Amino acid sequence: MTTYALDATALGMRYRRGWGLRDCEFQLPTGRISALIGPNGAGKSTLMRLATGLLRPTTGSIRVLGEEPGRHGTHRKLAFLAQDKPLYRGFTVAEMLRAGAVLNPSWDDEYAWRLVREADVPPQAKVGTLSGGQRTRVALAIALGRRPEVVLLDEPLADLDPLAREDVMRTLMAEVADSGMTVVLSSHVIADLDGVCDHLLLLAGGRVRLQGDVEDLLAQHRVLIGSRELVMPDGVVEARTTERQATVIARTGPVPGWEADEPSLEELAMAYLRSARAVAA
């Protein structure tokens, strides 16, 4: 039996205001870079917090490398970088690294320090005085310093300028290439993930709308353009019509009469997100 990085069964999380995640079934394979896509409020952060053990599911279960999150902190081989990059504000960068070392038996000090040096962050600077980009680099260094097999990054690029985004992504991809880590990366900006991710999990309204290998998913779908008089194919995800022509995204092969193209990741994701919103409305 395959061990998945994350494996959810009937996973649900109810907040006071309603369900944050409901009836989620998904598997994220190891050794891949998975994109977790969804609009704000889709349940991306909830899913990650369930995997770390910060939250406990209301229904079902989530397994990390085959184990359910327990009472002794996050799975030793899992690292999590939350969206607001939480660190101790009054600590210096050097003290933050020491905290990482004492809180984690698997800590690789040399490695974490190398990542901080590469980021050009002064070790004696207080964490509270760092720029957004520096703070992200330090938080990432500490997350990776645990030498995780799986790393969960919740909107790691939000509120970074374009140069810092590029730096962070380059660092991350270099480390992934070296170590073969499994990465789960959430974002609501799909362009950030295109070309980086090879596996996709799309959430909307707390439910899984689409999952699978990115190449497979793209190969299974078509953007169809043709006259609005044509018969709609099977497996329509979303159809938009103007006065004369229809643009359809469908899970289908080539269909006679339509001009068919493989969609881009962004086109595909947007089609699913829009159709999820239309159903909800």
Partner 1 sequence: MTWVAWRQQRLQVLISLAIITALAAVMVYTGFDARSLDETAVEDKYGMYLGYLQLLLLALPVLLGAFAGGPLFAREIEQGAHVFSLTQSIGRTRWWATKIAVAGLPVVLGMTLLGLVNAWADPALSTLRGARLAIPSFEVQGVAIGAYTALAFTLGATAGLLVRNTLGAMVTAIVGYVPVLIAVGNGLRPHYAEPQGGVVDSTMLREKAWRVETSYVDGAGNPVDLRAVCGDDVNRCFEEGKVRVHALFHPDDRFWAFQAVEAGVFLALSAALLGLGAWVLHRRLRLA
Positions touching partner 1 (CB under 8 A) are: 15, 45-46, 49, 52-55, 71-74, 76, 79-80, 82, 84, 86-91, 95, 98-100, 102-106, 146
Pairing of strands 199-204, 259-261: unpaired
Least Å from the CB of residue 86 to partner 1: 4
Identify the CA nearest to 274 among candidates 237, 233, 221: 237
Cα separation of 140 and 142, whole Å?
5
Compare residues 2 and 124 and give the one whose CB is closer to partner 1: 124
Cα separation of 210 and 226, whole Å?
25
Both tokens of 181, joined, read 């880590």
Compare residues 49 and 221 and give the one whose CB is closer to partner 1: 49
Q: How far is CA 244 from the centre of its chain?
A: 38
DSSP E strands in 104-206: the ranges are 150-154, 182-187, 199-204
Least Å from the CB of residue 89 to partner 1: 6
DSSP run (H or E) holding 211 = strand 207-213
Question: What Cα–Cα distance (Å) separates residue 209 from each residue in 42, 87, 180, 203?
Answer: 11, 33, 28, 6
Compare residues 48 and 168 and give the one whose CB is closer to partner 1: 48
CB 221 within 8 A of CB 266: no
Compare residues 3 and 106 and give the one whose CB is closer to partner 1: 106
Least Å from the CB of residue 127 to partner 1: 9
Least Å from the CB of residue 225 to partner 1: 43
Least Å from the CB of residue 238 to partner 1: 31
Compare residues 52 and 211 and give the one whose CB is closer to partner 1: 52
Compare residues 113 and 235 and give the one whose CB is closer to partner 1: 113
Cα separation of 62 and 181, whole Å?
19
Least Å from the CB of residue 133 to partner 1: 18
Compare residues 49 and 63 and give the one whose CB is closer to partner 1: 49
Least Å from the CB of residue 167 to partner 1: 22
Residues 6+ apart with CB under 8 A from 202: 37, 38, 208, 209, 210, 211, 269, 272, 273
